[in-house]
Amino acid sequence: MAFLEVQNIQKSFGKTEVLKNIGFSLEKGEVLAIIGSSGSGKTTLLRCINFLETPQHGVISVGGEVLFDADDPSKIKEKEIRKNRLHFGMVFQQFNLFPQYTVFDNLVLAPKLLAKEKLKENGAYFGATSYKNAVAAIEAEAAQLLKKVGLTEKSDEYPCNLSGGQQQRVAIARALALHPDVLCFDEPTSALDPELTGEVLNVIKGLKSSDSTMVVVTHEISFAHDVADKVIFMADGVIEEEGTPQQVIENPKSPRTQAFLSRFNQYSD
């Protein structure tokens, strides 16, 4: 069984079926790129994985543990969902930073709240057994994460004073501060000016390591080609084609994939 297993996800909004029996798997440390035209259901799929939408059918598991099963009512309780959600991190197209907090506080807000709760529940949070120690560890890590995304000197700034690219890098660091097993990105550079996409893509590239598993929805085909271990092309709520970047991007078999990619090649080649 793979590290991340997504099986038979079916999601409808009213009568429109947006995801039709989607499934894929990913090994630990792998990067999956999801490409596809507008409206094909990419965002909806990521939202289902992060429990922001509840699919009508399907099973999601990480590391062998079933986190979601549409047929198991105990898995759709709010408390359970909140706990299971922590296996995933999400970076939004629109950043969604908290405007009233500094960059640093954006990073530590949720971990601190979580540490308080975990300490009360089972007396420990990532090895720390007192709130004071937990906070020290959380703050040290936040500083480290800011360094990783190259924003140490912006630590005390408010999000409104940052460029879009910097805001998105903060959002990435904020998601990482909770140690998700799988980090999801929904078109992380689509809201950015073209000259700012590079800095964000480089940060994502830099995260690639043996223990960070990522799912990236993107329109940056060359990024998908260079960074992903696996590429999925979605069309109308189904996986039209999947495989390695060489298979899907260089030698697409499906006519729809070919048609989609040809639009990009016109400009890049």
Partner 1 sequence: MEQFWNITFQLLEGFKENCILFGVTLLVALPLGLLISMGSMSKILPIKAFCRTVVWIIRGTPLMLQLFVVYYIPPLLTDGSFKFSDRLSAAIIAFVINYAAYFSEIYRGGIESIPKGQYEAGYVLGMKKSQIFFKVVLLQVVKRIVAPMSNEIITLVKDTSLARVIAVGEILKNAEQFTKQGLIWPLFYTGAFFLIFCGVLTLLFRFIERRLDYYKG
Chain residues in the site for partner 1 (CB under 8 A)? 50-52, 82-83, 85-86, 88-90, 92, 94, 96-100, 109-110, 113-114, 158-160, 174-175, 178
Quick one: 109 or 137, whose CB is closer to partner 1?
Answer: 109
- Phi and psi for 208 in degrees, rounded to 5? -60, 120
Q: Compute the least distance from the CB of residue 100 to partner 1, in Å.
A: 5
Q: Compute the least distance from the CB of residue 146 to ligand ATP, in Å.
A: 29
- Mark the segment that binds Mg ion (CB under 5 A) among 7-15, 43-51, 53-61, 188-196: 43-51
Q: Compute the least distance from the CB of residue 204 to Mg ion, in Å.
A: 17
Query: What is the per-residue DSSP string for 146-157?
Result: HHHTT-GGGTTS
Among 4, 18, 67, 149, binds ligand ATP (CB under 6 A): 18
Q: Compute the least distance from the CB of residue 185 to partner 1, in Å.
A: 12
Q: Is residue 61 close enough to count as binding Mg ion by CB under 5 A?
A: no
Size of the site for Mg ion (CB under 5 A): 1
Q: Is residue 40 close enough to count as binding Mg ion by CB under 5 A?
A: no
Size of the site for ligand ATP (CB under 6 A): 10
Sign of CA dihedral 236, 204, 247, 63: negative
Among 40, 43, 84, 213, binds Mg ion (CB under 5 A): 43
Q: Which does 216 bind (CB under 5 to 8 A by kind): partner 1, Mg ion, ligand ATP, none?
A: none
Q: Compute the least distance from the CB of residue 178 to Mg ion, in Å.
A: 23
Q: Which does 223 bind (CB under 5 to 8 A by kind): partner 1, Mg ion, ligand ATP, none?
A: none
Measured distance CA(176)–CA(170) in Å, rounded:
10
Contacts of 143-149 spanning 24+ positions with Cβ under 8 A: 143/104, 145/107, 145/173, 145/176, 145/177, 146/103, 146/104, 146/107, 146/170, 146/173, 148/173, 148/176, 148/203, 148/206, 149/173, 149/203
Query: What is the per-residue DSSP string for 143-191?
Result: HHHHHHTT-GGGTTS-GGGS-HHHHHHHHHHHHHTT--SEEEEESTTTT
Closest CA to 186 of 22, 12, 41, 19: 41
Among 33, 35, 40, 177, binds ligand ATP (CB under 6 A): 40
CA dihedral 85, 49, 231, 17 (to 10 degrees): -170
Quick one: 52 or 136, whose CB is closer to Mg ion?
Answer: 52
Measured distance CA(212)–CA(210) in Å, rounded:
6
Q: Which does 92 bind (CB under 5 to 8 A by kind): ligand ATP, partner 1, Mg ion, none?
A: partner 1
Residues near ligand ATP (CB under 6 A):
13, 18, 36, 38-44
